[in-house]
Amino acid sequence: MAIPLDVEEFVEKHIKLMISQTETYLPFIKVAFPYSNNVADGVYNLIIGSALSVFVNQFAMKMKYPTADDFTEFGKIALKYRDQVDQFFA
């Protein structure tokens, strides 16, 4: 079963918004992960963690539960943005 298109679009818009505002998060990331050698990992984790919450909430608003396949699809969506976050810090 594929993720409903409206849920997928909402999650992707959320991820894109957070990536576009990454500079805002840098002071927090540097304080939250002071020993991190890879700030991109911290930012990516923050963005995807937030997107996961949005993903689950979108299903809850429809009075549905995401399946294991839905979470697999979410992972594929999230992975598409990994390189974009890495390049921001290159």
Q: HEC profile for 20-65?
A: HCHHHHHHHHHHHCCCCCCHHHHHHHHHHHHHHHHHHHHHHHCCCC
**Rounded mean pLDDT of 11-34?**
85
The predicted pLDDT at position 1 comes to 59
User: Is the pTM for the entire model greater than 0.85?
Assistant: no
pLDDT tens digit string along 37-84? 788 888 898 899 999 999 999 999 989 999 999 999 999 999 999 999
C-alpha distance from residue 30 to each of 13, 43, 71, 87 (Å)? 25, 10, 29, 18
